[in-house]
Copies of this chain bind each other. A is one copy, B any other.
């Protein structure tokens, strides 16, 4: 049986089937290891397009690929659907739902979660966007705000329902704010009788001096201009000092709003606590130049869970290409080490950064090349289709985008999960969601 063969081969356990874990498992194809890939979801999620699920442009299945299908033809990979709750470093075992999974090599690729910088109570009022369930939850909140406004007799409450605040001016915040503006001003524009969705106010709040700080200043300005043309108010240099169920406070100022979305920051998953590892301020484990844990050369930490710097000492960004390159690197490092060879330190190759603003504009920075506007947007579309996994998802995303581009419509405008509730009573708190859950 396959399992008897597997016993004789060293076992690599990978926690997390995000960009890092998936890339590592794929790079171990045909290599003399048994691979166990553990994830709490049965699908790999293409996170860069998650904001399009939250804003009703794509369906969850369009950006998710069943992990088992990805590895169907790679017989050395065993997929386990389970919640990992700890790592027994002394015994070389991963603990998942009361079960112990032994490893010879371990790759920790558990990603990041929302961070509220000491304000955990804001989470229920300002949900973040990390999972499919987060995205359908945000979609429900955004669409319900318009529905509630349509039947709301009180003027002030109607105003509050039509105000949307996005906190955080990174790519996710910019993409969300742009997409909500287009939803309100185009897709929903003619659909209501008592309210004018075009009167919705969308505010993007950023604590730093400008949005998209990872881009060159000229591209930040292009993005700002594009957002303002879409009708988004951008408040940079403005720190949020409070979030509640009726609005956001920023020092003396306040914006009344029933829909606050959090895109202001992430922290690593609790993996470095499981490992008892030294971590940085964002909870990311400090690693050796080969991404192994200090003193544990057979345990690797990659992606958003690892604290890494580039050649100039600058921290690597929490983006998919870093995780993918690290997954690939670690798979080869393990193979080399098992063969008694050594490997050079991990080095990140930056092929560029992209962010989109609405349906036809984007900014792109590729080495010294800077692009903005429609050309950058085409590049953005191409790159995202290219990196999606599987022919079906590529095809469906293309079809959806072509249709939305031609019609200004959104195809996935469903409010789900409100069974039996009075629409006016549907409360954010009524819904379980991952950003606010306690760890098991």
In whole angstroms, how far apart are the Cα atoms of A68 and B183 in the complex?
Answer: 14
Asked if A422 and B440 sit within 8 Å, CB to CB, the answer is: yes
Asked if A69 and B413 sit within 8 Å, CB to CB, the answer is: yes
Q: Min CB distance, A142 to chain B, in Å?
A: 12
Asked if A42 and B412 sit within 8 Å, CB to CB, the answer is: no
Residue-by-residue, is A102-146 near B (CB-CB < 8 Å gives 1, otherwise 0)? 000000000000000000000000000001110010000001000
What's the number of copies of this chain in the assembled complex?
Answer: 2
Residue-by-residue, is A398-438 near B (CB-CB < 8 Å gives 1, otherwise 0)? 01100100010101111111011111110000001110011
In whole angstroms, how far apart are the Cα atoms of A437 and B433 in the complex?
Answer: 21
- Kindly list chain B residues whose C-beta atoms are within 8 Å of the C-beta of A419: 131, 133, 432-434, 437
Asked if A62 and B60 sit within 8 Å, CB to CB, the answer is: no
A43 at the A/B interface (Cβ < 8 Å)?
yes
Q: A399-B396, A432-B420 are in contact. Are A147 and B190 (CB under 8 A)?
A: no
Closest to A439 in B: B420
A193 at the A/B interface (Cβ < 8 Å)?
yes
Within 8 A of B (CB), among A178-216: 188, 190-193
Within 8 A of B (CB), among A72-111: 72-73, 78-83, 97, 99
Q: Which of B68, B143, B437 contacts A192 (CB 8 A)?
A: B68
Asked if B414 and A132 sit within 8 Å, CB to CB, the answer is: yes
Asked if B396 and A400 sit within 8 Å, CB to CB, the answer is: yes
Q: Min CB distance, A194 to chain B, in Å?
A: 8
Asked if A97 and B434 sit within 8 Å, CB to CB, the answer is: no
A343 at the A/B interface (Cβ < 8 Å)?
no
A392 at the A/B interface (Cβ < 8 Å)?
yes
Q: A83-B422, A420-B432, A437-B419 are in contact. Are A414 and B61 (CB under 8 A)?
A: yes
A2 at the A/B interface (Cβ < 8 Å)?
yes
Q: Which of B78, B97, B396 contacts A424 (CB 8 A)?
A: B97
A362 at the A/B interface (Cβ < 8 Å)?
no
- Kindly list chain B residues whose C-beta atoms are within 8 Å of the C-beta of A80: 150-151
Residue-by-residue, is A207-238 near B (CB-CB < 8 Å gives 1, otherwise 0)? 00000000000000000000000000000000
- Kindly list chain B residues whose C-beta atoms are within 8 Å of the C-beta of A73: 190
Q: Min CB distance, A364 to chain B, in Å?
A: 29
A328 at the A/B interface (Cβ < 8 Å)?
no
In whole angstroms, how far apart are the Cα atoms of A68 and B193 in the complex?
Answer: 10
Asked if A415 and B97 sit within 8 Å, CB to CB, the answer is: no
Q: Min CB distance, A225 to chain B, in Å?
A: 31
- Kindly list chain B residues whose C-beta atoms are within 8 Å of the C-beta of A2: 193
Asked if A413 and B43 sit within 8 Å, CB to CB, the answer is: yes
Residue-by-residue, is A266-304 near B (CB-CB < 8 Å gives 1, otherwise 0)? 000000000000000000000000000000000000000
Asked if A416 and B193 sit within 8 Å, CB to CB, the answer is: no
Asked if A99 and B60 sit within 8 Å, CB to CB, the answer is: no
Within 8 A of B (CB), among A147-164: 147, 150-151
Asked if A190 and B72 sit within 8 Å, CB to CB, the answer is: yes
- Kindly list chain B residues whose C-beta atoms are within 8 Å of the C-beta of A396: 396, 399-400, 411
Sample 6 A-B pairs with CB under 8 A, ordered by A number: A42-B143, A60-B412, A81-B150, A99-B151, A392-B409, A396-B400
The 5 closest A-B pairs by CB, nearest first: A59-B59, A68-B191, A61-B412, A420-B437, A66-B413
B-binding residues in A (CB < 8 A): 2-3, 40-43, 59-62, 64, 66, 68-69, 72-73, 78-83, 97, 99, 131-133, 136, 143, 147, 150-151, 188, 190-193, 391-393, 395-396, 399-400, 403, 407, 409, 411-417, 419-425, 432-434, 437-438, 440
Other 10 A-B pairs with CB < 8 A, given A81-B151, A131-B419: A43-B413, A59-B61, A61-B413, A61-B414, A64-B414, A81-B423, A391-B403, A392-B411, A396-B411, A419-B437
